[in-house]
Copies of this chain bind each other. A is one copy, B any other.
Amino acid sequence: VNHDGEEATLARLAAHLGPGAKIGDDAAWLDTAGLASGQLVATVDSQIDGVHVRCDRVAPQHVARRLVAVNASDLAASGALPRLGLLALAAPPGYDVDSFLAATAESLAQLGAELVGGDLARADQLVATLTLLGVPARRGPLLARSAARPGDRLWLGGTVGESAVGCALVAAGGGWRATDPAPHLPPGLVLEHRDAAQRALHRHLAPTPQLALGQHLAGLPRCAALDLSDGLAKDLTRLATASGVGATVDLAALPFSADYEVLCQHLDLDPLGLGLGGGEDYVLLVATAPAHNLTELGLVPIGWCESEPGLRARTADRAVRPLESSGWDHLGRLCPPAPKGRQEIAQGEAKRSPG
């Protein structure tokens, strides 16, 4: 309905953004004179229908907010703050492009950034790509995944696995309608711990980029960081490989959200499997010298780096076993890994109402 032309759409966006809007020319001019550090940070990430989101269940404005959040999470992992966004939106006929653009601009504004350019095109499948430019939060050493050293402690900025549960709930029929203030559970799904399920859906659909945390971490003398997008095991492999170290994760220390494990049980999902490989957690994974206690920043210690290459897990019985890098590889598969029961929620232990 809103496909009445790129020109008209951009005009509406410019009107929505107000008189200061920079939309219009072939390229956007970015004033970098005010950058104290003389450095820009840039990242690009997409949301694709059927891969990262389900457009049949999640309204355009919520997809747009998620797009901004996952990009901002990359900047958080670099210790940078978002400033300027460029959107390339390829959408199928009838897609509510106006709402998507408005929500993108709004979400960027909430993070202190501005939508300065973009490209609109038609495609069979929604492919929304945001390039986010940011500035370093402070002078000093930059956050990078290659800065870990043997002996470093490993920390997590938040819980893992919850987003994957939310993803499974979307697969089972959950979603987020345009004007609803919160996501909705799969219709007809009878479930104890509905609050936990609701939180999991929100966590999956509206992740919170840890920008303030990244800013703090950038002040440490040496610190390796990345954001968990493809699962702890896979992203830790990346950090360890880039740093030339090995790592051991203390499985008993992995932080889970309230009622996460019992919710998984109800949904016939594997809590530890999702915690290690579920992906899209969008919390920071950090390695730094053991002298730094990051508990005050809300981080949870989950293991340590070693000179011996490879990933290991210490189980509850204190045995140490090799840990597979089994995260979500976007080129390798279309969907997050299907742990036990992922696709079978409706038929699983969770009870459906007769209606």
Binding site for B on A (CB under 8 A): 3-7, 9, 24-33, 35, 38-46, 48, 50-52, 73-75, 77-78, 80, 84, 86-88, 90, 97, 116-125, 127, 129, 131, 133-134, 142, 144-146, 226-227, 238, 242, 329-334
Q: Which listed residue, B73, B121, B144, B227, touches A331 by the CB 8 Å rule? A: B121
Q: With A30-B40, A42-B84, A121-B330 given, can you name 20 additional A-B contacts, CB distance below 8 Å? A: A9-B331, A24-B146, A26-B74, A27-B74, A31-B38, A32-B39, A42-B133, A43-B117, A44-B131, A45-B88, A46-B121, A48-B121, A48-B123, A51-B121, A90-B129, A119-B129, A120-B330, A122-B330, A123-B127, A127-B127
Instruction: Check B30 against A43 for contact (C-beta < 8 Å).
Output: no
Q: Which listed residue, B3, B74, B88, B124, touches A44 by the CB 8 Å rule? A: B88
A337, chain B: closest CB distance, angstroms: 13
Instruction: Check A334 against B242 for contact (C-beta < 8 Å).
Output: no
Q: Do A120 and B77 contact each other (CB < 8 Å), given the known contacts A30-B41, A32-B38, A134-B27?
A: no
Instruction: Check A75 against B27 for contact (C-beta < 8 Å).
Output: yes
Assembly of this chain: how many copies?
A: 2
Q: Which listed residue, B7, B87, B125, touches A124 by the CB 8 Å rule? A: B125
Instruction: Check A51 against B122 for contact (C-beta < 8 Å).
Output: yes
Bound form: Cα–Cα A7–B74 in Å: 17
Instruction: Check B131 against A131 for contact (C-beta < 8 Å).
Output: yes
Instruction: Check B25 against A78 for contact (C-beta < 8 Å).
Output: yes
A16, chain B: closest CB distance, angstroms: 17
Q: Do A332 and B4 contact each other (CB < 8 Å), given the known contacts A29-B78, A40-B30?
A: yes
Bound form: Cα–Cα A27–B28 in Å: 20
Q: Do A43 and B28 contact each other (CB < 8 Å), given the known contacts A121-B331, A122-B330?
A: yes
Instruction: Check A329 against B44 for contact (C-beta < 8 Å).
Output: no
Bound form: Cα–Cα A57–B253 in Å: 53
Instruction: Check B48 against A90 for contact (C-beta < 8 Å).
Output: yes
Tell me which residues across on chain B come within 8 A of A129, comparing CB atoms.
44, 46, 88, 90, 119, 127, 129
Q: Do A120 and B331 contact each other (CB < 8 Å), given the known contacts A26-B226, A78-B25?
A: yes
Q: Which listed residue, B40, B44, B242, B329, touches A24 by the CB 8 Å rule? A: B242
Q: List 29 A-B residue pairs with CB atoms under 8 Å apart, sorted by A's residue number.
A: A4-B331, A5-B329, A7-B329, A9-B331, A25-B144, A26-B43, A27-B77, A27-B134, A28-B41, A28-B42, A28-B43, A29-B78, A30-B42, A31-B39, A32-B32, A33-B39, A40-B40, A42-B86, A42-B117, A43-B86, A43-B117, A44-B87, A44-B131, A46-B129, A48-B90, A88-B88, A120-B330, A120-B331, A124-B124
